Structure 1
Amino acid sequence: MVGEGTGNDGSTSMSFTSKSVGGEYNHLLTENEMPVHRHYEYIFVKGYPDWPVVDLDTYGAMIDFESSNYVTPNRSVHATTTNAFAHTEFAGGSTEHNNIQPYIVAYFWRRTA
């Protein structure tokens, strides 16, 4: 519940009319509302038998540590990941977004005597 009236949080002035409702129970961020960020790219490296077993599918890329050649897809091999020294472009816009819980506006009063 929110009390009827006008208020200011120091940066934004807000007005609430009795019996109005607002806010969101769920809010799915748009890309522009997400913080600015980027993702680093990694590549699988086939190598030592004590490394974990990795399933390489048809969309993956893996380099054989010993031969420096690509590994044939659709196999299970001992491998690890390493930084490919590449990254995606920046995404996200860090814009403000609604973060208000669902509410209903009501009259409030305080008895003083």
Structure 2
Amino acid sequence: MNKIDELSITIPAQMTSSAAVDNFIELVIDSFKLPSFLMGCITIAVINAVRTYILYGNNGKQGKTLTLTATKHPTDVVICVEDEGGGLVFKGINAGIRLGDANARHGDGLYLIAT
């Protein structure tokens, strides 16, 4: 792939890294010439994935990082979030987790990833 087809960033696995995530998404939108109306949808999905991987993938451990990679394909763009932990086990992850659940401990991230 040539340079414009893939973008990547490594950030500290901390909740305070959301500004870096926002900047990365803006770069993806601009570099891949995506419609600007997608910004909100992409941001919600990626921010939730980042938060989920900080809490569950890296288990909130200090000093860990996350790598975000956006790859442009002919018909879509795929954004991956990679942690330094053992990964998430998705089997049964959506049992008891519902979108917009006011009693959820940390938001909708696990639900969005599971579905």
TM-score range, shorter chain: under 0.3
More strand by share: 1
TM-score of the superposed pair, with normalisation by structure 1:
0.19
Name which structure has the greater RCO, CA cutoff 8 Å, separation 6+. 1
Which structure has the bigger radius of gyration? 1
More helix by share: 2
TM-score of the superposed pair, with normalisation by structure 2:
0.19
